[in-house]
Structure 1
């Protein structure tokens, strides 16, 4: 049974889909349970998000034994018209740059 994540009120900048995609980009062999824990979502919610991402062509998976290995389709364009021309790879690059700049807790 899924553990209930901490409640959150208010709005956030990132969608749950973006969070899940970022975790998978960080570790393509992440288990649903681990993705859920990092994103503070239920496993059921992560399963649905992964299915959404796969159904829209942003993600594929292959079985590796009893686990999945995910592959992000980097050239896929983001869906919102305001993001016209931005690819998944471009979005993930922003996350990677942020992480690189904040590895010691301070922006460079």
Structure 2
């Protein structure tokens, strides 16, 4: 019996972070498609991650290239002793 998903293990922020880790040159529309979110939501999440210091955005011509800051601690107090690199390693992206 299939039960409709009401919750997931990963937030949109984690999915966007993982998508950028896989390809730092992704366009916002590609991030959105990969993460199954709207382009506007992707833009908001990228801005959140950049403002919090989890990624840096560099303009290269008409495109952006992202750099993850993998030594930043995770935000929730229960995981604040772990860094982004641990999350990426757990999800298969060292």
User: TM-score, with normalisation over the residues of structure 1?
Assistant: 0.80
Query: Cα distance, 1:84 vs. partner?
Result: 2.3
| Unmatched segments (≥5 aa) in structure 2 | none
Structure 1: distance between partners of 2:80 and 2:67: 23
Query: Cα distance, 1:69 vs. partner?
Result: 0.3
Match of residue 75 from structure 1: 71
Query: Cα distance, 1:9 vs. partner?
Result: 4.8
Structure 1 runs of 4+ with >4 Å offset:
none
Paired residues in the alignment total: 90
Which of the numbers 19, 25, 31 marks the counterpart of 2:21? 25
Which structure is higher in RCO with an 8 Å CA cutoff and minimum separation 6? 2
1:16-50 alpha-carbon deviations (Å, 9 max, x no partner): 00000000000000000000001000000000000
Which of the numbers 42, 45, 59 marks the counterpart of 2:41? 45
Query: Cα distance, 1:85 vs. partner?
Result: 1.1
| Unmatched segments (≥5 aa) in structure 1 | 1-7, 98-108
Root-mean-square deviation (CA, aligned residues, Å) is 1.2
Higher gyration radius (CA): 1
1:58-87 alpha-carbon deviations (Å, 9 max, x no partner): 010101110000000010000100002110
